[in-house]
Structure 1
Amino acid sequence: MLKVYRGELLHFLADPAKVALQESYQYIEDGLLIIKDGLIEQIGEAEALLASLDKDLDVIHYENGLIMPGFIDTHVHYPQTEMIASYGEQLLEWLENYTFPFERQFSDLEHGKKVAEFFLSQLLEAGTTTALVFGTVHKESVEAFFTVAQQKKLRMICGKVLMDQNCPDYLTDTAESGYEDSKALIEKWHNTDRLQYAITPRFAPTCSTEQLNKAGQLLAENPSVYLHTHLSENKAEIAWVEELFPDSDGYLDVYDKSKLLGRRSVFAHGVHLHDSECKRLGETGSAIAFCPSSNLFLGSGLFNLKQAQAFDVNVGLGSDIGAGTTFSMLSTINEGYKTQQLRGDKLSPFKSLYLATLGGAIALDLEGTIGNFVKGAEADFIVLDYHATPLMDRRMQHCKTLSEKLFILSMLGDERHIKATHIMGERV
Structure 2
Amino acid sequence: MNKDSFVLRGGIAFSEGSKSIVTYSNGYVVCVDGICKGAFSKLPDQYKDLPVYDYGDKLIIPGMTDLHVHAPQYTFRGIGMDEELLEWLSKYTFPEEAKYADLAYARKAYEYFSEDLRRCFTTRAVVFATLHNEATIELMDQLEKTGMITYVGKVNMDRNGGVGLEEEDAAASLKATVEWLEAIKGRYKNTMPILTPRFIPSCSDDLMKGLGEMSAERGLRIQSHLSENKSEVAWVKELVPESTSYANAYEIFDTMGSAELPTIMAHCVYSDEEEMRILKEHGAYIAHCADSNMNLTSGIAPIRKFMDAGINIGLGTDVAAGSSMNMIKTMLISLQASKMYYRLVDTNVKPLSFEEMFYLATMGGGSYFGKVGTFKDGYDFDAVVIDDSKMFSMRDMSIRERIERMVYNDADAIITDKYVRGNNIYSNVK
- State the TM-score, normalizing by the size of structure 2: 0.89
1:21-44 Cα distance to aligned partner (Å, 9 max, x none): 4xxx5322222233234x125233
Distance apart, 1:46 and its partner CA: 5.5
Equivalent residue, structure 2, for 1:81? 74
Distance apart, 1:405 and its partner CA: 3.1
Distance apart, 1:307 and its partner CA: 1.6
- State the TM-score, normalizing by the size of structure 1: 0.90
Task: Please give the alpha-carbon distance, in whole angstroms, between the structure 2 residues aligned to 1:376 and 1:179.
Answer: 39
1:272-328 Cα distance to aligned partner (Å, 9 max, x none): 111111011011100110001111111110010122123211111000000101111
Task: Please give the alpha-carbon distance, in whole angstroms, between the structure 2 residues aligned to 1:386 and 1:13.
Answer: 24
Equivalent residue, structure 2, for 1:31? 27
Alignment of 1:105-144 (within 5 A): 105-144=99-138
Equivalent residue, structure 1, for 2:373? 371
Please state if 1:145 is matched with 2:176. no
- Higher deviation after alignment, 82-91 or 397-406: 397-406
In structure 1, stretches of 5+ residues that fail to align are: none
Distance apart, 1:402 and its partner CA: 4.7
Please state if 1:417 is matched with 2:414. yes
Distance apart, 1:130 and its partner CA: 1.0
Give the aligned length: 409
The letter for the 2-side match of 1:75 is: H
Aligned with residue 283 of structure 1, among 264, 281, 284: 281
Is the CA contact 1:110–1:144 (under 8 Å) kept in the aligned structure 2? Answer: no
Distance apart, 1:110 and its partner CA: 3.2
Is the CA contact 1:328–1:415 (under 8 Å) kept in the aligned structure 2? Answer: no
Distance apart, 1:409 and its partner CA: 1.9
Distance apart, 1:393 and its partner CA: 2.4
Equivalent residue, structure 1, for 2:384? 382
The letter for the 1-side match of 2:165 is: L
Is the CA contact 1:126–1:415 (under 8 Å) kept in the aligned structure 2? Answer: no
Equivalent residue, structure 1, for 2:212? 216
Equivalent residue, structure 1, for 2:395? 398
Q: 1:113 to 1:256 in 2, by over 3 A?
A: same
1:126-182 Cα distance to aligned partner (Å, 9 max, x none): 211111000011112210111111222321101111111111141111212222222
In structure 2, stretches of 5+ residues that fail to align are: 343-349
Alignment of 1:24-423 (within 5 A): 25-37=21-33, 39-45=34-40, 47-49=42-44, 52-54=47-49, 58-87=51-80, 88-173=82-167, 174-189=169-184, 192-223=188-219, 225-262=220-257, 263=259, 264-344=262-342, 345-362=350-367, 364=368, 366-368=369-371, 370-388=372-390, 392-394=391-393, 397-398=394-395, 401-413=398-410, 416-423=413-420
Task: Please give the alpha-carbon distance, in whole angstroms, between the structure 1 residues aligned to 2:413 and 2:177.
Answer: 38
Sequence identity, in percent?
Answer: 30
Q: 1:190 to 1:74 in 2, by over 3 A?
A: farther
- Higher deviation after alignment, 404-413 or 100-109: 404-413
Is the CA contact 1:70–1:381 (under 8 Å) kept in the aligned structure 2? Answer: yes
Task: Please give the alpha-carbon distance, in whole angstroms, between the structure 2 residues aligned to 1:279 and 1:399.
Answer: 46
Distance apart, 1:329 and its partner CA: 0.7
TM-align CA RMSD: 2.0
Is the CA contact 1:293–1:324 (under 8 Å) kept in the aligned structure 2? Answer: yes
Distance apart, 1:116 and its partner CA: 2.0
Structure 1 runs (4+) greater than 4 angstroms displaced:
399-403
- Higher deviation after alignment, 172-181 or 350-359: 172-181
Please give the secondary structure, in 2, of the residue aligned with 1:226: coil
